[in-house]
Amino acid sequence: MTATAFAQASVQRLARALDERAAAAVLDAGLLATTAVRREEAPARALRRATAILDAVLITAAAPLPDAVRRRIEAAADELGAADAALDAAARLETLWRDVAATLTLPAQVGVEAAVQVCLAERLHERVRLADLARTLGYSPSHVSDLVRRVTGERFTVLRRRLRLERGRAALARGLSVKQAASEAGFDDPAYFSRVFRCAFGVAPGRWRRGAGTP
């Protein structure tokens, strides 16, 4: 098998593994693709081969990749595309696939609720929607909605509001003003934040901040 054919076969395996979100298969296929790079004797050719593999993987994967995975692959492709022949392309590629495999195991290791909370915590100020979260996790919106409700017992919108309020309460506990806490929790309107906070915790945020009637 020629080096090009071997690399193409590796890309196909990688794409299938990424579509299936199979971390172990991604690592195996990634190491196989790295072998195709190591076969290139000239460092410049190895660099071009590695870049071509990453570009092909991004194009070949049928399902939208989780944002964290896509960003890692794109960053590696940019790095290799701008690097000189002194860079060990194979070593960089191997590190990438180990990182990607570790990223894909996150939801299985920490649970759906934690994975959702991590994603939401990073983007609460953006008014993240269910579709955005689904794209980040690499699943359909309906699948993520069902998972969230089954695991947390809450609808996505309810979970998002609770996390925003908890962030606002934590900001108040650090001594921030109601306006500052509202902004940190992703609320544009401090008055609306106050109403929702009082409904959730039974006390106005200003009063809670002063230590009177902690929920």
For residues 200 and 187, is the Cβ–Cβ distance under 8 A? no
Highest mean pLDDT among 30-34, 98-102, 113-117: 30-34
pTM value is 0.52
**Residue ranges matching CATH 1.10.10.60 in the chain:** 115-215
Write out pLDDT tens, residues 185-202: 888 899 999 999 999 999
pLDDT band at 214, cuts 50/70/90? very low
pLDDT of residue 193: 94
pLDDT of residue 213: 41
What's the average model confidence in pLDDT over 164-192? 90
DSSP assigned state of 138: T
What's the average model confidence in pLDDT over 133-153? 76
pLDDT of residue 82: 87
Residue 9 burial by Cβ neighbours in a 10 Å radius (0-12, 13-18, 19+): middle
Q: Collapse the DSSP code of 71 into the 3-class scheme (helix H, G, I; strand E, B; otherwise coil) and give the result.
A: helix
Write out pLDDT tens, residues 54-105: 999 988 887 778 877 888 899 899 998 888 877 899 999 999 998 888 777 7
The larger pLDDT score, comparing residue 125 to residue 60, is at 60
Residue 38 burial by Cβ neighbours in a 10 Å radius (0-12, 13-18, 19+): middle
One-character DSSP codes across 105-135:
THHHHHHHHHHHHHHHHHHGGGT--HHHHHH
pLDDT of residue 155: 87
Residues 6+ away with beta carbon under 8 Å from 25:
13, 16, 17
- Whether 170 shows a pLDDT value over 90: the answer reads no
Q: How far apart are CA 192 and CA 144, in angstroms?
A: 28
Q: For domain 115-215, give the CATH number.
A: 1.10.10.60
pLDDT of residue 108: 55
